Amino acid sequence: MPSRPRQFQQRRSVAIVASQYNSEFVEGMSAHAQQELAALLPDSTIQQFLVPGAFEIPLAVQEVAERGSFVAVIALGVIIQGETEHARLIAEAVTHSLLDLSLRHRIPIIHEVLLVANESQARARCLEPEKNRGTEAARIAVRMVQALIDLKGR
């Protein structure tokens, strides 16, 4: 488990932007992320924003990032591969958009919009504690905040 950041400067909030589609799985990741953030950063605020689906996540992340009051944003969603290329196309668009937003706004945007083959994979990564991507997203967010603090201090 990473150590708690030495300073969080003036912004002390972490945002979670979560899809309501495949809600059972996304809510599992969100609950684990919030639990881990509360443990790692007990003095911080966690705000969650819900959007209808994965494709809508980047627009909400942009709005959250433009507020300037968050040290990191965690994007959570689950896309289950179907018989067409639709899921892959959405996943690629979301991935490219989140990377662009992170670089443009210069804040960590943690990408946990999962593209999985089936519900079994989603269950293992979203509901089970061993591989829970929400827990990992929270840990990465804290590590990235600290890394940026360290980089700016040098």
Catalytic residues: 86
Q: For residue 10, what is the DSSP state?
A: S
d(CA 154, CA 149): 9
Task: Please say whether the dihedral angle defined by the alpha carbons of residues 124, 127, 129 and 134, taken in this order, is positive or negative.
Answer: positive
d(CA 65, CA 81): 29
**String of b and e for 58-76 (b: at least 16 CB within 10 Å)?**
bebbbebbeeeebbbbbbb
